[in-house]
Homo-oligomer: A and B are copies of this chain.
Amino acid sequence: MVIIMFEELANIARKVEEKTRIPTYIRSLENILLALTKTDNFWLVVRYSGEPLNLVAESLKQLANNNYVVFDGHRIKLSSKGRAYISELSLGYDTHYCTNCKGRGIIINNLGDDVIREFLEIHGNRPKAIQEYDQGYVSPEVTLARVALIDSYGDLKGRKILILGDDDLVSLAIGLTKKAKEIAVVEIDKRLTDYIEKISSEHGFNIAVYTMDLRHPLPEELLGRFDTFQTDPPETLKALKLFIGRGISALRGERCAGYFGLTRIDASLDKWLEFQRMLTNDFRVVITDIIRDFNEYIDWDYIDQMYGWKVAPVKVMPEGIWFVSSQYRIETLRGFRGFNDPMLDEDIYVDEELASA
């Protein structure tokens, strides 16, 4: 029985891959079936499966065609056949994430009550995420956790820090800690740079703010200057090359650090591998940390406008935080290289796997 299903799933995987052009494995389908033991909401299936949204959407349709899952209104459920596959193989998982830090390993308390309270206030008045720039920001708790992470590794105190794209207002959270030597922000959205400049001057953070499109090279005065960068790029390989390459170009030299989020929702593990080769072969930087689901994003208003909504097999809103990404840390070593060439004629937000833009 399981052997027949195994062949059937292999066929489904082939069909999904043909349709989506995303590498699809039996394990991808298993991950989706297992996610359905935890939730019946499409968006949470995407989160728990750890598979790309476009792949999950197409797989669910194919799995329904083959009677592994059933659509019950907007709810997605395992059929008895789907349940049989899991139980005959005894598959499953129990999660053991720390409830105190949500699995991040990092807590924000030590940043101090004032920093936390003031940042929540600043965050409360921020401009909303808009689709034009693939925005979608993390919760204020996560922004603070990023700063706590940077501080834990000696990359905050006395350091010059560049934020490339600051939808998450990391620059302002860093300003509140008063630990950095210098803060600069490069951001395309004038609503955001205006807001950051306003808060910065009210609090005396002295943040250098550049309103610019990162497809242009960084200006000379930002190159080879910083100890640390933070960014959260879209997951196309072009955008990754652009954001991380610019960040590395801005670093002062060897043994400086870069922090960024990378999701599996807009990128298959095969794309992750290509990206890791770019990091280690082309940029010649070492990956020191990958913390899963460190970044939790607040739902953005344009969810029913994005590509992922079109392909979703049921049109339903998320029931809880569904968009997550892993937090990477890299460090430059001898022989590292950045990338600061223009990349003007490119649509950096589009590939087969990007669903959240």
5 chain-A/chain-B pairs, Cβ below 8 angstroms: A92-B158, A95-B151, A96-B151, A276-B276, A276-B286
A181 within 8 A of B: yes
The 10 closest A-B pairs by CB, nearest first: A27-B255, A90-B158, A96-B148, A98-B101, A100-B100, A93-B154, A103-B105, A273-B286, A92-B157, A105-B105
A28 and chain B: residue at smallest CB distance: B255
**A3 → chain B closest CB, angstroms:** 15
CB neighbours of A285 from chain B (8 A): 273
Q: How many copies of this chain are found per oligomer?
A: 2
In the assembled complex, the Cα of A284 lies from the Cα of B23 at a distance in Å of 15
Does the CB pair A93–B153 fall under 8 Å?
yes
CB neighbours of A26 from chain B (8 A): 255
**A46 → chain B closest CB, angstroms:** 16
CB neighbours of A100 from chain B (8 A): 98-101
A104 within 8 A of B: yes
In the assembled complex, the Cα of A92 lies from the Cα of B178 at a distance in Å of 13
Contact of A288 among B105, B269, B277 (CB under 8 A): B269
Quick check: which of A131-139, A289-297, A343-351 contacts chain B, the rest being far away?
A289-297
A residues 147-186 touching B (CB-CB < 8 Å) = 148-149, 151-154, 156-159, 179, 181
Contact of A105 among B97, B111, B270, B277 (CB under 8 A): B97
Does the CB pair B287–A276 fall under 8 Å?
yes
A34 within 8 A of B: yes
Contact of A94 among B92, B101, B152 (CB under 8 A): B152
A125 within 8 A of B: no
CB neighbours of A201 from chain B (8 A): none
A residues 250-309 touching B (CB-CB < 8 Å) = 254-256, 269-270, 272-273, 276-277, 280-281, 284-292
In the assembled complex, the Cα of A322 lies from the Cα of B149 at a distance in Å of 21
Q: Which of A26, A30, A281, A290 has most chain B Cβ within 10 Å?
A: A290
Does the CB pair B152–A254 fall under 8 Å?
no
Contact of A334 among B91, B270, B272, B333 (CB under 8 A): B270
**A186 → chain B closest CB, angstroms:** 24
In the assembled complex, the Cα of A289 lies from the Cα of B269 at a distance in Å of 12
Does the CB pair A154–B280 fall under 8 Å?
no
**A241 → chain B closest CB, angstroms:** 16
CB neighbours of A270 from chain B (8 A): 286, 333-334
CB neighbours of A152 from chain B (8 A): 93-97
In the assembled complex, the Cα of A304 lies from the Cα of B243 at a distance in Å of 48
Known interface pairs A92-B154, A96-B149; 19 further A-B residue pairs with C-beta atoms within 8 A, sorted by A's residue number: A30-B154, A91-B158, A92-B158, A93-B156, A93-B157, A94-B110, A97-B106, A97-B152, A99-B100, A103-B106, A105-B105, A105-B291, A269-B286, A276-B280, A281-B281, A287-B287, A288-B290, A290-B290, A290-B291
CB neighbours of A108 from chain B (8 A): 96
What are the interface flags for A75-115 relative to B under an 8 Å C-beta threshold, 1 for contact and 0 otherwise?
00000000000000111111111111101111111110000
A25 within 8 A of B: yes
CB neighbours of A94 from chain B (8 A): 110, 151-152, 157
A331 within 8 A of B: yes
A31 within 8 A of B: yes
